[in-house]
Structure 1
Amino acid sequence: MLSRLRIVLPALWAGLLICIAAMATPAVFAVVPSATAGQIVGRIFAQEAVVSMGFALVLVMIERRLSPGRQAGVWLALGALFCTVAGYYAVQPLMEAARAGRGTMSFAQLHAISLAFFALKGVLVMALAWRAAAPLLRSTSS
């Protein structure tokens, strides 16, 4: 059961991140006025942050259980968890302050930082998915 979750969960997580970045966010901004779109997308990212923390914590536990000597999967999941916490829970409040005219950085600068954390999280999660699926891919190519 854990071996299957180790393969499926990172793939689902990566799919979620790709769907948000490639489909949900652009679609909302295409059909809704910008201020409202920002609120909707903000809500999407709030939900994604909670889901990402859950995926990361479960995958850390699975990786530690199935590969106690190899820590690459743990570090990838922890890196993605860090990107979630830093990108959403640390930068998002600063973005709100910048939008209100407070703070030392502009909204655009903070948005770029948040986007960089989201992109890095996507790369880490895809690496985790690739790594988890590698044994399965090797066994089918033989």
Structure 2
Amino acid sequence: MLPVLLLRFQAVLAALWFGLVLILALMVAPMLFAMLERPLAGQVAGALFRIEAYAALGVAVALFLIERRQANMRAVWGRSSRFSIELGLILAALFCTIFGYFGLQPMMEEARAGQGSFSFGLLHGVSSAFFAVKGLILVVLTWRLITRLGRRG
């Protein structure tokens, strides 16, 4: 019973993370820039993306721990290895967060201040690409977890 509950919790966490990314990218950020002056919209969007980045760290750790437990149990039962595709997807989404936000954000601040080697526009584009890739990874992860749950639950 516990593994099914963990699978459900894991699927819900992944879906919530994907939903947060989707809403920020497709609704909140465009609405901010449509309704507010550009500098204020950028500040508010930056604050929201910072919240998402820290939430992503927590959710990714929780998903990783649950998936690691599930993968270990499947390996003990001889059904697969200790590394799963879902584990790889979680780590890939985590990498997108770490590099796309925590790695590029300080460089974007330098570029905004006229320092650094790269333009703000270039860094913003790369950061946006990582955010989009993270969204794609999360939709695949969510789909795979829901499919797995359907087989088990």
State the TM-score, normalized to the length of structure 1.
0.93
Structure 2 gap ranges (5+) = 73-80
**Rounded Cα–Cα distance in structure 1 between residues aligned with 2:40 and 2:30:** 13
Greater Rg by CA = 2
1:107 to 2:111 alignment: no
TM-superposed CA distance for 1:72, in Å, is: 1.0
Structure 1 gap ranges (5+) = none
Over residues 72-103 of structure 1, what are the superposed CA-to-partner deviations in whole Å (9 max), with x where a residue is unaligned?
A: 11111111111101011110010010011111
**Rounded Cα–Cα distance in structure 1 between residues aligned with 2:152 and 2:99:** 38
2:10 aligns with: 6
1:132 to 2:145 alignment: yes
1:97 aligns with: 110
Identity %: 44
Q: Which amino acid aligns with 1:18?
A: L
Contact 2:7–2:149 (Cα < 8 Å) also in 1: no
Contact 2:89–2:138 (Cα < 8 Å) also in 1: yes
2:133 aligns with: 120
**Rounded Cα–Cα distance in structure 1 between residues aligned with 2:151 and 2:64:** 24
State the TM-score, normalized to the length of structure 2.
0.87
Q: Compared with structure 1, are the counterparts of its residues 109 and 39 closer, same or farther at alpha carbon in structure 2 (3 Å cutoff)?
A: same
Counterpart pick for 2:27 among 2, 23, 26: 23
